[in-house]
Amino acid sequence: MRNFFKNFAYVVIFILAVAAIFAFTSPKTETPKQVSLSQLVADINSANVKSVAVTDSSLEITYNDNTKATAEKETDSSLSQTLVNLGANKDALAKISFESKIDTSIWSSLIPLLLSSILPLAVFAIILMLIFRQAKGNAMQAFDFTKAKTRILGGNPKEKTTFADVAGLKEAKEELQEIIDFLKNPDKYLKMGAKIPRGVLLMGLPGTGKTLLAKAIANEGNVPFFSISGSEFIELFVGVGASRVRSLFEQAHKVGRAIIFIDEIDSIGKVRGVGLTGGHEEREQTLNQILAEMDGIESGEGIIVLGATNRPEYLDPALLRPGRFDRRIVLDLPDSNDREAILKIHCRQKPLANDINLREVAERTPGFSGADIANVVNEAALLAAKRNKTEINQTELLESIEKVMLGPEKKSHLLSKDEKKIAAYHESGHALVSSSLPGTEPVRKISIISRGMAAGYTLKTPTEEKKLRTKDDFISEIATLLGGMTAENLIFGKTSTGASNDLKQASKIARKMVKEYGMSPLGPIVFGEKEELAFLGQEFEGQRNYSEAVAAKIDDEIAKIIKSGQDSATQILTQKKDTLEKIALRLIEKETIEKEEYEQLVGISAVK
């Protein structure tokens, strides 16, 4: 695009130059003095005038002494008539030679016409020509959709992403370094008889930094890097995707060693034949082209295809076969140390107050992705600006966590009096059950200000995400989840729809306990085969490898676990009904209760 503006500037300069030449070369000899018509008449009468020439717009007078002058011409009437009217002597007039210099040739009228119509056309043609030429000369190929729009990621040198901008992801970085090393010193590996991988797949939940990491490699790897996003393939016409892939690989072959990055590859590489929309024809062609091109890479040639996806389980198995994306790098969600590091990166350019404690923020954001954390910092900055602060305080960061987690507070959506009461008992139920059971995290905040989808919420402080959890932990969690509904039941004798999400989650946990973790009397058996790649947290019901009879038993066990959770919640809340009331009433009054106040209400030492 820069090129285009440069050319455009040339054209403008060219036009200005032409205009200037016209202006300066137009016949403009030394200006003779101007006389009025009455002066002319007087001169004629005194026989000083030799001749008068009539041009288009004026009279050119030549005196006897050969000096010249001009006079304005009256256009309406004939010249001699005008002069006579002004009192010219007819005899004197007769002595003067009149000549007509009015240009009657065709050119005089044509040239202005030509200039006014053809010149702009010519300029326009030149501009078009320049555009086409630069479009051709440039890899952009502005008018050819089939050519891949490759670009170097993070091209803006001011915002160059480097490895320093990527926190955590240590293993992924190491693996990628290794691959860059392959590209730089292939002989080292080939001598050992090692095969250089052709395809490397980055897999991770959305926002874990796949695209970010690819950008960093593009900038730091010092190998030619071509990139394209899978979603671009499906934007245009049928057949375009495949030819783009072809052109992408052609470009890479030309430079020899290169990384080809295909972002969001799942949007092309979806399992074939399952699409409901008409678009899957196109996807199939594109996918086939990718497969063909990948197979066409000679081993040792040094072209590595890097793919990224959020949803590996949707990828066509053909992409995952040996010789294609057989090297896989999983990008995990960041742990608390990584989160702290990510926070540091995103706080770099921001004015922070002295009370900022990033460690605390990191500890309060388990399960957040890198993108979520970037979002928290940004929300905090927005919030601080909104409050006309000059620095970001810890309060803004902490508030932003809740905003990112639950959606913005809906202050406008006020609960009715009854709803508020129900929500208060519901949340108090969750909180009280949670803090009455062993193995649960301390309650940090209870609120009945609705947020996002939830009418209220109870936040707990995870001390650190646990990697290993026991059966007791799960049962406590289920009891806590059911605590809301149980409290409603206990106080009002009925339940509301507010509990549906709690129930869903509780059932999910119970199902996993039975089917995956072997935590039921059915024994240590995994029921149902999970798809190979379903480790990224998505539910992907695999093949059922058990009988109807077993299915019924599984359902029984799940029901039993839920029941025991419910019983324990009921028992706790019945026993501590007074405390429940106390919390709920305070909540109705204040809408939000923080940790200290809550612990005081519950008498936390007395509970545990």
Q: SS3 breakdown of the chain: % helix, strand, coil, rounded to 5?
A: 55, 10, 35
* C-beta of 499 vs 533, nearer to ligand ADP: 533
What's the number of CA atoms in the CB half-sphere (13 Å) around residue 423? 24
Of 282, 4, 285, the C-alpha closest to 142 is 4
SS (H, E, C) 584-597: HHHHHHHCEEEHHH
Which residue in the set 166, 356, 424, 554 belongs to the binding site for ligand ADP (CB under 6 A)?
Answer: 166
According to DSSP, the residues that pair with 65 across neighbouring strands are none
Contact (Cβ atoms closer than 8 angstroms) between residue 255 and residue 301: no
Shortest CB 231 distance to Mg ion, Å = 10
* C-beta of 204 vs 302, nearer to ligand ADP: 204
* C-beta of 370 vs 484, nearer to ligand ADP: 370
Q: How many residues bind Mg ion (CB under 5 A)?
A: 1
Residues 448 and 457: their CA atoms lie apart, in Å, by: 6
Residue 364 binding partner per list Zn ion, ligand ADP, Mg ion, none, with a CB distance cut-off of 5 to 8 Å that depends on partner kind = none
432 binds ligand ADP (CB under 6 A): no
Shortest CB 394 distance to ligand ADP, Å = 21
Rule CB under 6 A: which of 120-139 touch ligand ADP?
Answer: none
310 binds Mg ion (CB under 5 A): no
Interacting span for Mg ion (CB under 5 A) from 9-17, 206-214, 389-397, 541-549: 206-214
194-228 CB burial, b ≥16 within 10 A, e <16: eebbbbbbbbbbebbbbbbbbbbbbbbbebbbbbb
Residues 548 and 556: their CA atoms lie apart, in Å, by: 12
Site string for ligand ADP, 341-380 (x = CB under 6 A): -x--x------------------------xx--x------
Residues 305 and 287: their CA atoms lie apart, in Å, by: 14
Which residue in the set 154, 199, 207, 498 belongs to the binding site for ligand ADP (CB under 6 A)?
Answer: 207
Shortest CB 368 distance to Zn ion, Å = 21
Residues 205 and 311: their CA atoms lie apart, in Å, by: 8
* C-beta of 169 vs 506, nearer to ligand ADP: 169
Shortest CB 220 distance to Mg ion, Å = 18
183 binds ligand ADP (CB under 6 A): no
Q: Kindly report each contact of residues 149-152 with a partner whose C-beta sits within 8 Å and lies 24 or more positions away, as own/partner.
A: 149/228, 149/232, 149/244, 150/226, 150/227, 150/228, 150/248, 150/251, 151/227, 152/218, 152/225, 152/227
Residues 241 and 236: their CA atoms lie apart, in Å, by: 8
Interacting span for Zn ion (CB under 5 A) from 80-88, 110-118, 440-448, 501-509: 501-509
SS3 39: helix
Residue 370 binding partner per list Zn ion, ligand ADP, Mg ion, none, with a CB distance cut-off of 5 to 8 Å that depends on partner kind = ligand ADP
Cα–Cα distances (Å) from 605 to 127, 570, 574, in that order, read: 82, 21, 19
Residue 208 binding partner per list Mg ion, Zn ion, ligand ADP, none, with a CB distance cut-off of 5 to 8 Å that depends on partner kind = ligand ADP
421 binds ligand ADP (CB under 6 A): no
Residue 502 binding partner per list Zn ion, Mg ion, ligand ADP, none, with a CB distance cut-off of 5 to 8 Å that depends on partner kind = Zn ion
* C-beta of 370 vs 483, nearer to Zn ion: 483
Instruction: State the catalytic residues.
Output: 427
Site string for Mg ion, 208-227 (x = CB under 5 A): ---x----------------
Shortest CB 211 distance to ligand ADP, Å = 3
Cα–Cα distances (Å) from 343 to 168, 363, 376, 407, 464, in that order, read: 11, 11, 9, 20, 17
Element (H, E) at 200: strand 199-204
**CB-based contacts of 363, cutoff 8 Å, min separation 6:** 336, 461, 462, 463, 464
Which residue in the set 502, 533, 558, 598 belongs to the binding site for Zn ion (CB under 5 A)?
Answer: 502
Structure tokens at 308: 């990224």
Shortest CB 177 distance to Mg ion, Å = 20
Cα 291 to the center of its chain, rounded Å? 28
Shortest CB 324 distance to Mg ion, Å = 20
Which residue in the set 356, 484, 496, 515 belongs to the binding site for Zn ion (CB under 5 A)?
Answer: 484
Q: List interacting residues with ligand ADP (CB under 6 A).
A: 166-169, 204, 206-212, 342, 345, 370-371, 374
Q: List interacting residues with Mg ion (CB under 5 A).
A: 211
Q: List interacting residues with Zn ion (CB under 5 A).
A: 484, 502
